[in-house]
Amino acid sequence: MSVDDTILDADVGIVGAGPGGMAAANVLAQAGLSVVVLDEGMRAGGQIYRQLPEGLVNHGKIAEPPSHDGGHALLERFAAAKVTLVSHATVWDAAPGKLWFEHGERSRLLRCRHIVLAPGGYDRCVPFPGWTLPGVVTAGALQVMVRGFGVVPGRRALVAGSGPLLLPTVTALLGAGVEVVAALEASSRWRALRAAPAVLGNALKRREAMWYARQLWKAGVKLRWGWTVFACEGDGRVQRAIIGKVDADGRPRRGTELKLDVDVVGAGFGLVPSVELALRLGCTSRFDAARGGHCVVVDEQQRTSVPGVFAAGEICGIGGAEVAAAEGQLVAEAVIALAKGSTVSAEAQRRAQKERKAADTMLRAFAPLPGLAELARPDTIVCRCEDVTRLGAQQAAQLHGDSLRAIKVGCRAGMGPCQARICGPSLQAMATGDGRRAMDLPVVQVPVKPVRTETMLDAPT
């Protein structure tokens, strides 16, 4: 079998080369199973352990938190493992035992006895006036710029949002020599204190928290609790940001606004699990607001409701790299158990449970704040693909019903190429004014990600 074959065969097909996918691949390969990993990125690592392009070396220029030691170890093992990695692979459809993907402008198929889904997650966006201006990006986008490409995002940056990922965004910017004008966490300090048990009870998280505190202190950056970005302004690109205080529910407190001159803004309000492929496969999911939205349900061995389909990491609920790596190890043992009749180690199960429990405690303190939906004004664009405003979505909800599907039919919101990945998490909250309601299941259609028409027409079977 060559990587360039139109049809690839393997014992196990893994989607995603982040910590979960890499950890699983390393263990599976060691057990002698053939493994193909499909990943959309340019190199292995996923978003959290994103590597610079070939030929660039960090040289310690961009400071890395203590947890990244684990990432380097995973990457080294993965590079040495007998695993076939297909980068630049966009998986657009799946059935038990089959993963269809586009790679090198060609339609390809991976046939595998077992599927392990570890596609990670993506930034949760909250629409606010001016968020479509060039220069306003997600928090994750800024990390990719700095740690993935060695690009300096701008001169003066604002970082706003919620959750633990704001901190690596700030330190990445500092590493790139960017002045971080403000770092805003929407949760109050008191709410965030609920994360304390998770930090205090975990040696790595303790070290991590101390490391970030020291980095911010050295740079003179103060994290402002209970603040967020209200709006961005500029002529053709972002030039100013208006920030202000929010109440305990995240509702903007008008009258507290301050104006800042900035040339780049990173906004990230937590992460959303990437469940689309799993839903396409028919896996059972459940809504868990603190874990980021719809999550794939797995049993104590990372098995989904569909035989032969396993899941690890963010897809089972946002939890971070340590959860993903632990679940990746466990998922590999579960696949090996099925393939070879062995048993899953108690140690792997215990570790995955421990990491997941700590992550859940942490994330409950940063669960999405429903009041942030009020940042959008009636004329603020909510769905960027179709340029649907908040008012447009509201009118559609009144006319057609307030499910995501009805709003989509009524005003095209969510019908564009992002397939509601960007607007979906906030669309319903904004259209109905009820941010606490569990959001509808996303409508998953083939292709799960846009690919060329020829790719679908030429799909091998």
Partner 1 sequence: MSGRIAGLDDATRGPRELIEFTFAGEKVTAWAGDSIAMALWAGGTTAVRSSSKNGSPRGVLCNMGICYECLVVVDGRTVRSCTTPVRAGMVVEPGGRP
Residues that bind partner 1 (CB under 8 A): 40-42, 47, 52-59, 61-62, 88, 90, 122-123, 125, 132-138, 140-142, 144-146, 149-155, 175-177, 236-237, 263-264, 381, 384-387, 416-418, 421-422, 450, 452
Least Å distance, CB 266 to partner 1, is: 10
Q: Residue 148 gets which letter from DSSP?
A: I
Give bridge partners of residue 180 from the DSSP assignment: 157
103 vs 205, which CB is nearer to partner 1?
A: 103
26 vs 138, which CB is nearer to partner 1?
A: 138
Q: How many whole angstroms separate alpha carbon 265 and alpha carbon 162?
A: 14
Q: How many whole angstroms separate alpha carbon 261 and alpha carbon 240?
A: 5
Give bridge partners of residue 267 from the DSSP assignment: 138, 160
177 vs 201, which CB is nearer to partner 1?
A: 177
138 vs 187, which CB is nearer to partner 1?
A: 138
User: What residues contact residue 35 under an 8 Å CB cut-off, 6+ apart?
Assistant: 10, 11, 12, 13, 14, 25, 28, 29, 81, 82, 83, 84
43 vs 191, which CB is nearer to partner 1?
A: 43
Least Å distance, CB 415 to partner 1, is: 9
Helix (H, G, I), strand (E, B) or coil at 370: helix
Least Å distance, CB 38 to partner 1, is: 13
Give bridge partners of residue 271 from the DSSP assignment: 123
* Paired sense of beta strands 179-185 and 156-162, if any: parallel
Least Å distance, CB 209 to partner 1, is: 26
Give yes or no for a contact between 38 and 14, defined as CB atoms under 8 angstroms apart.
yes
Least Å distance, CB 123 to partner 1, is: 6
What is the identity of the amino acid at 17? A
Tokens of 137: 């990006």
55 vs 341, which CB is nearer to partner 1?
A: 55
154 vs 320, which CB is nearer to partner 1?
A: 154
Helix (H, G, I), strand (E, B) or coil at 383: strand
User: What residues contact residue 99 under an 8 Å CB cut-off, 6+ apart?
Assistant: 13, 15, 38, 91, 93, 109, 110, 112, 115
* Residue linked to tokens 């170890």: 73
Give yes or no for a contact between 252 and 228, defined as CB atoms under 8 angstroms apart.
yes
Other beta carbons within 10 angstroms of residue 300's beta carbon come to 11
3 vs 56, which CB is nearer to partner 1?
A: 56
Give yes or no for a contact between 36 and 8, defined as CB atoms under 8 angstroms apart.
yes
Q: Residue 195 gets which letter from DSSP?
A: G
Give yes or no for a contact between 7 and 15, defined as CB atoms under 8 angstroms apart.
no
Helix (H) or strand (E) holding 242: strand 240-245
133 vs 407, which CB is nearer to partner 1?
A: 133
